[in-house]
Amino acid sequence: MGARPPRARSPVPTWYLAQNRPVVARSKKRRSSPSNDRVSDGSDGSAVPHLNEQHYLGEIFCNRSLKMRSIKAIGFDMDYTLAHYKADTFETLAYEGALRRLVHAGYPREILDELRPYDPQAYIRGLVIDKKRGNILKMDRHKYVKLAFHGFQRLSKQERDALYNPAAVNWAAFNEPDFAVVDTLFSLPDAFLFSKLVEFKDQYPNLIEKPYEQIYRDVRRAVDLCHRDGTIKRRVAEEPAKYIEYDPHLIPTLKRLKRSGRKTFLLTNSLWEYTNVVMNFLMGNPPGLLELDWLDLFDVVIVGANKPAFLTDPRLWMYRVDPRSKEGYLSNTEGVIDGNAEAFLREGKVLQGGNYTHLQEILSLNSGSEVLYVGDHMFSDILRSKRQLGWRTMLIIPELTDEINEMLRSEVDRQRLREMRLLRDELDEMIDRAEWELHCEYERSEHEADPHADPSRRQRIEALRQSVETAETELREVKAALAAETERYHRRFHPVWGQLFKTGYQNSRFAEQVEQYACLYTSRVSNLRFVSPEITFRCMSDQCPHDRLHESPMRRILERRLQVVQNVSDLDAASS
């Protein structure tokens, strides 16, 4: 396989440029291209960003410090990790295939007209689907539902609280079987199709009599079958450039990691035939040319892995794949015998199925902490490998580029929001101080023989009441303006769901999971080219509210309160 010298390839293949507009011209806000999140030298034909521009540079963010020198093996998922799909074409392919399957399964033919077209920008990751009620939810890290839609109809706060008030229900964990999390980009067509069918059922109840929960199961099965039966993957294999983004920096990045002396592996749920097509495209080969050079990037390639079961069930059997047969002929294998991994790999390093024990034996690993696994799926790639096996993890979040770029462009708006929140806090403090002083006046009057004898006290009490009423009126106006301004700010990121990592002022549930389970996160694998393979990633210092003492509204309240107490004490001393 390695006897033939490798062909020199330009960073961006000429056949690709001839068939496709440059990726940098894409206008989709939610999905970003390889050229948008890097500092380029211009050698690949892309524009060179100015260093003084405020934009995402391809940073790799760290939640848990990681010394790369301690990592002996680096593994990668393929779909949406090495290969990033174009939302407008790839997801539409899945959506259209699922629609036809639903009609074939007995759904009314009217949905073929009523439920088109697919909108790839309608939903974001991290949302939760309420299967029983036909709702889509966005919640914060405390699992408080801040936004809810039934179909495409937004629920009011009263409706939301009645359904999802944690104090009133005992199913607020929002887990299966009643709820499903949109934790991968592959799930976005599911959410859109489910919402369209909910809307269609509500409008034409005589045409769809199934409960929402059954509709969701049918949608999930239809989309899943499109991925498994070749409906999607045949089309992608025919025209990979139509559905997959080409990243000219990916293969050099993988080669650098391989040269660093670490073992590398590919662990994907896709079967061999499709994996071979995608990896040849990522290598820069034109459509129809399928070579095996890309196998040199990895020590082990496992296809049809059936994650997350691969990461949890040690009983799953492994097979060897013949990569030179057209469809990947399978043969039985007993795995590594007597610890001789080299002898096992000499017989062939392309495998199917199996489980984590096979992989760790093949790579001669002693501990899960020696593995860094890079994937895009929060549940199947990151959560399970972290919790079950102790692997170190890197989550790929393609949306991160646009999220950060919009955040940097919106600094003026964020400053205005900070000022409005400060004004709200000031009014809160004024009201609380006035009410506190009222209580003090009442307490003093209780110790006097005639509480009404002092006219100046009555005047002070009346003045304090008036100041409370005035401040409360202003506070209502400021809170309404702040709510409107906050919603406008969030709409800059997404017109409905707002920021991916925020829900209101709190981190979103998605952000909490990223922080909890992803040691590292970035927008794409090729960002690793910006750092040495020996780098130590260091996390930033955690901060509790008391660590930001001088930013705390309570700190300001108490400082002023103590000043008032001191003033009153001084007046009392002077009068006595």
Please tell me which of 81-85, 178-182, 412-416, 453-457 the model is most confident about, judged by mean pLDDT: 81-85
CB contact at 8 A, 305 and 343: no
pLDDT tens, position by position, 464-522: 888 889 999 999 999 999 999 999 999 999 999 999 999 988 899 999 999 999 999 99
Residue 431 pLDDT greater than 60, yes or no = yes
Q: Which amino acid is at 233?
A: K
Q: How far apart are CA 411 and CA 54, in angstroms?
A: 10
pLDDT tens, position by position, 162-197: 898 766 555 557 888 889 999 899 999 999 999 999
Q: What integer is the mean pLDDT of 406-416?
A: 91
Q: Where are the beta strands (DSSP E) in 73-226?
A: 73-76, 128-130, 135-139, 145-150, 153-154, 179-181
| Torsion, Cα of 124, 130, 131, 134 (10° steps) | -80
Q: What integer is the mean pLDDT of 288-315?
A: 93
At residue 449, the pLDDT reads 61
Residue 73 pLDDT greater than 90, yes or no = yes
Please tell me which of 3-17, 34-48, 181-195, 328-342 the model is most confident about, judged by mean pLDDT: 181-195
CATH 3.40.50.1000 domain position(s) in the chain: 14-84+244-402
For residue 193, which of 79, 101, 104 has the smallest C-alpha distance? Answer: 101
CATH 3.40.50.10860 at 14-84+244-402, yes or no: no
Residue 3 pLDDT greater than 80, yes or no = no
At residue 541, the pLDDT reads 82
Q: What integer is the mean pLDDT of 444-455?
A: 66
Q: What are phi and psi of 521, to 5 degrees?
A: -150, 145
Mean pLDDT, rounded, of the chain: 86
Q: What integer is the mean pLDDT of 409-431?
A: 90
pLDDT tens, position by position, 111-136: 999 999 999 999 999 999 999 999 99
